[in-house]
Amino acid sequence: MTSLGIGLAVGLVVLLLALSAGVETSVTTLATESGVDLFATAGSYSPGGSVVPIAQAHRLASEMPTVDSNVQTASPWLISDLVFANSSLWARANNSSVPADWSWTGSYTIGYIPSDNFGLQIPDLYNGTRYTVAGDPYYGNGQYNGTPTHEIVLDQGLAEALHVWVHSWVWVGAAQPTSNADLEQWFATATSFQVVGISGPFWLIPSATLAYLYLSEMQRIVGGGTPQTDYATVVLIHLEDPTRVTNDQSVLASHFPELKVITLAEILGSIQHVVNLYRTFGDLIGAIGIVVAALFATTILQMSVDDRSRELALLRAIGHSRSSVGRMVVEEGLVLSLLGLAAGLPVAFGAGYALNWYLERLIPGLPTAFTFVSFDPVVLADGLALVLAVGLVAAIAPAARAMQLPVAEELRAP
């Protein structure tokens, strides 16, 4: 029972360590594999928050590589929450027979230049051919007088929510209808798009529903589509030589003072700060469990020494030194702790994978490579160190007690 108590406490700590390690490793891996070395924003950015738009987005895409030869790609992305509806809802709205339980769907939408993302990781395409025209056709010669493509890519979550597939048509608008009665008017002002691809989730915005448009066509939906409203939310920058990222950050920041240029390391540092807060909280919970386990083990070992005081005195009488008797008690404490580790690790593994399974289903839209729990060698080594520490700390007082037993009195005791 003592070993089981130690095992449960250590298993809890190992699980908490594995949870923070899993989140940290997954985020770092996804970010480093994305190909993004620098982010340029007009201020602090968080999806769904208040964002200061970047002006002259198309100009930045061509000007940044000219200013800094190490910039291979500067891709402006406009991110906004738009409203979607399918052709079934469109047909019902036209004849004023929309069922009461039918509705539109809101989704984060990314406007970007699909062909100008060299070196950047974009969502995998599961079905369809993606976009058929290179560049940003509606932007044309910079006057927004080109031909719109009316092509859109949806991720699996949004496609399922809308009950659409490749070649289906969807309608997109910036404003949300107030009720089903307003749907006919909403469709009159919305823009129709044909689905040309179904993609997987995207690491930048962990959402269950996402859509992707040409940048200029999305700008027109959200109220842009003119040279004066050539807005973006963020510019993703891929470098030819990422080891020079600090120098590139300085060059771009000095040439574009209206922008805030952020390195990937700074983004990961912010994420690490949040992870560390959760880790500290987990460490506090784990520390309480470890202290309780150590006190419990100390009590048991102390009772064991008292129950076997005559045996220990006899060992001393036949020649064992004080240190050898104390060492026996310490060894007993370590054996109890190691047995606890053997009991606690399977509990931690089982609970960890169950928690990972639950969180993956609780938070839809996560990349397939994302895992919440990681039992890496560092986590297992920390668990072993904790077990040994519990055994040693728990054995200190009982070992001292065993070494100080009066041999003659114990042997004469009835």
Q: Is there a contact between 169 and 195 (Cβ–Cβ < 8 Å)? A: yes
| pTM recorded for the entire structure | 0.70
148's enclosing H/E stretch is: none
Question: At 136, phi and psi to the nearest 5?
Answer: -135, 80
Q: Which pLDDT belongs to residue 368?
A: 66
Helix (H, G, I), strand (E, B) or coil at 250: helix
Q: Which amino acid is at 363?
A: I
Q: Say how far apart CA 261 and CA 59 lie, in whole Å.
A: 16
Collect the ranges in the chain with pLDDT lower than 50: 45-49
**Cβ atoms within 10 A of the Cβ of 284, count?**
10
CB-count burial class (<10 Å; 0-12, 13-18, 19+) for 218: buried
Q: Is there a contact between 253 and 259 (Cβ–Cβ < 8 Å)? A: yes
CB-count burial class (<10 Å; 0-12, 13-18, 19+) for 190: buried
Q: Which pLDDT belongs to residue 365?
A: 61
Q: Say how far apart CA 235 and CA 258 lie, in whole Å.
A: 13
Distance of alpha carbon 312 from the chain centroid:
55
Residue (of 115, 74, 109) closest to 236 by Cα position: 74
Q: Which pLDDT belongs to residue 48?
A: 44
HSE-CB at 288 with a 13 A cutoff on CA atoms is: 6
Q: Which residue has the tokens 């919970």?
A: 285
Q: Say how far apart CA 33 and CA 97 lie, in whole Å.
A: 48
| Beta bridge partners of residue 192, listed in sequence order | 171
Q: Say how far apart CA 76 and CA 33 lie, in whole Å.
A: 19
Q: How many residues does the chain have?
A: 414
356: tokens are 């990972």
Helix (H, G, I), strand (E, B) or coil at 166: coil
Q: Is there a contact between 53 and 231 (Cβ–Cβ < 8 Å)? A: yes
Q: Which amino acid is at 239?
A: L
HSE-CB at 407 with a 13 A cutoff on CA atoms is: 12
27: tokens are 């985020």
* Residues 6+ away with beta carbon under 8 Å from 7: 339, 340, 341, 342, 343, 344, 345, 347
Residue (of 66, 87, 109) closest to 162 by Cα position: 87
Q: Which pLDDT belongs to residue 51?
A: 64
Q: In the chain, count H helices and then E strands.
A: 12, 10
